[in-house]
Amino acid sequence: MDPVSIWIIVGCVVMIILTVIWTYNKLIMLNERVNEAWSDITVQLKYRADLIPNVIESVKGYAKHEKEAFKDVTEARSKVMGAKSVKSVAAAEDALTASLSKIFAIAEAYPQLKASENFKELQKQLQDVEDKIQAARRFYNAGAKELNVKMKGFPTNLIAKRLGFKIRDYFEVSASEAERIADAPEVKF
């Protein structure tokens, strides 16, 4: 074999090795970005879960007879905190949102509660954390999309599967929420 052929073979082998290393490092970076986004979601969920008992206590002071609504919120909160996968968190969040809306509907019936500075501040904090959760979900979905697209492309798809990388689920609107959005009331002036 002549020296030129040897250098061509060595060059091809080096290119393959460099491609695998670059691909692996890119997948690690994208995977960590998705992990970071997931971590941000869990931090915001924890913060919201810590606020919920305060909201319940505020409402309880005015509406002691609404025990079922308080129980629903507490159970939904526990399910969110216990959920591990994207899909289970999304499902648990739907239940929590529905039960929290009942609490705020109860609060509407009590003008003194609505006027309470403590309750107003809790509502403001809860809205702020909901906004942060939505932003964290968008960041997570963007990272998951980038990772998934990279993993599905050639030649990364050959390398990713062998190295144990997995396609990530998206945070999606649940079927019940999608139905509610689809049935949104029409506004006419």
Q: What residues does each domain of the chain span? A: 3-166
User: Which carries the bigger pLDDT value, residue 133 or residue 187?
Assistant: 133
- 64-122 tens-digit pLDDT: 677 788 888 888 888 888 888 888 888 888 888 888 888 888 888 877 777 778 888 88
Q: Max alpha carbon distance in the chain (Å)?
A: 92
Phi-psi region at 116: left, alpha or beta (left = phi > 0; alpha = psi -120 to 50): beta
Q: For 157, list phi and psi in degrees, rounded to 5.
A: -60, -35
CATH superfamily label, 3-166: LemA-like domain (1.20.1440.20)
d(CA 17, CA 159): 11
- Looking at residue 43, what is its pLDDT? 92
Cis peptide before 155 (omega within 30 of 0): yes
Taking the complete model, does pTM exceed 0.85, yes or no? Answer: no
d(CA 147, CA 166): 9
